[in-house]
Amino acid sequence: MAERTIVIIKPDGVKRGESVVRQIKQRYLEAGMRIIQEIDLQLDRHQIREFYKEHEGRSFFEDLVSAMTIGPCLVLVIEGEEAVEKVRAINGATDPAKAAPRTIRYDFRDAESGGPRNIVHGSDSSIVASREFLILVE
């Protein structure tokens, strides 16, 4: 059964240009998924704080809020069989230094950032994706 999930190409990724964005989207398409919606957004601090509220109080939270609000991002609604699981595998480990080669977070890591910043967000379940989508488009 097809499911939907959310991917956000973060501001650092969008800033790297259309070629990088196109390559990222192509990874999902090559895995047999469909991009059914694309939304260009400039997220504000309130949205990001709500979006990542489960991380509030952690040492990286304020850096994450800042990184997500420095510029526009691209939200992708992706649909396909086992979309959540496939997207998470394509994205790789959250920390690019721990991500496997040929994953988005490894292949598009910014070695100069000096931290665990990554270029994409992927929902961890279709239920979470629905909640995240509502926060993003409110």
> What Å distances lie between residue 12 and 2, 37, 78, 111, 112, CA to CA?
30, 21, 20, 13, 12
**Would residue 46 show up in a list of annotated catalytic residues for this protein?**
no
Question: Per the residue annotation, which of 109, 120, 121, 122 is the catalytic one?
Answer: 121
Residue count (the chain):
138
3-state DSSP call for residue 52? coil
Indicate which residues carry an active-site annotation: 121
